[in-house]
């Protein structure tokens, strides 16, 4: 799920950036530092949408670096248990398949794949129904439900299922090409 929220961060800026465009430099550095990171509490920080305020900088002894407390608005993405996501399959193996929904990695084990789909080893490993009408392979897009998350300080990993109504392949790369 996506959230728009205000976060705060202490930015350290090198003295060489002190000048007319100090603020721009600060924002650029903030984006570079923060976007794409993951915090266990808030989830993945997807994008910074604006700066709320930049506090008074404090010069650090010895180095000359200045620390600015910056409040910024951002979009965060955090997966929840029970959430339905659309994801792209990145790897298929005997144990199941891995998929990515933006920054988050999801594993779907073969127990959570419908019973009528079977693993087909080979050049392009895939899961196929007995009649061959549905195929899950690399680059397939699937809709899945998250049934478990593991949230570390800097990482979120999910496991999902496609063993429910309206879940499964939504576009088949083989069919398109």
Binding site for other proteins (CB under 8 A): 91, 93-96, 98, 105, 107, 109-112, 114-116, 121, 125, 145, 147-150, 157, 159, 161, 163-164
As a whole number of angstroms, the distance between CA 68 and CA 66 comes to 6
As a whole number of angstroms, the distance between CA 117 and CA 132 comes to 9
- Of 114 and 173, which has the nearer Cβ to other proteins? 114
As a whole number of angstroms, the distance between CA 52 and CA 67 comes to 17
Q: 3-state DSSP call for residue 91?
A: strand
Nearest approach, Cβ of residue 93 and other proteins (Å):
3
- Of 62 and 82, which has the nearer Cβ to other proteins? 82
Nearest approach, Cβ of residue 131 and other proteins (Å):
13
Q: 3-state DSSP call for residue 25?
A: helix
Supply φ then ψ for residue 11, to 5 degrees.
-100, 135
- Of 27 and 159, which has the nearer Cβ to other proteins? 159
Nearest approach, Cβ of residue 57 and other proteins (Å):
40
Helix (H) or strand (E) run with residue 4 in it: strand 2-13
Nearest approach, Cβ of residue 97 and other proteins (Å):
10
- Of 77 and 119, which has the nearer Cβ to other proteins? 119
């Amino acid at each position: 799920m996506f959230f728009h929220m205000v976060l705060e961060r202490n930015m350290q800026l090198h003295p060489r950036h002190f000048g007319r465009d100090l603020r721009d430099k600060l924002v650029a550095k903030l984006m570079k530092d923060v976007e794409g990171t993951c915090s266990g509490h808030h989830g993945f920080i997807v994008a910074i949408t604006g700066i709320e305020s930049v506090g008074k900088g404090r010069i650090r002894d010895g180095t000359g670096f200045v620390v600015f407390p910056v409040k910024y608005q951002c979009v965060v993405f955090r997966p929840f248990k029970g959430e339905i996501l659309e994801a792209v399959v990145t790897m298929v193996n005997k144990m199941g398949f891995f998929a990515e929904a933006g920054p988050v990695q999801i594993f779907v084990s073969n127990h959570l794949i419908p019973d009528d789909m079977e693993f087909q080893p080979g050049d392009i490993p895939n899961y196929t129904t007995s009649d061959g009408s549905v195929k899950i392979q690399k680059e397939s897009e699937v809709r899945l439900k998250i049934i478990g998350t593991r949230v570390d300080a800097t990482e979120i990993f999910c496991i999902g299922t496609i063993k429910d109504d309206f879940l499964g392949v939504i576009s088949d790369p083989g069919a398109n090409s």
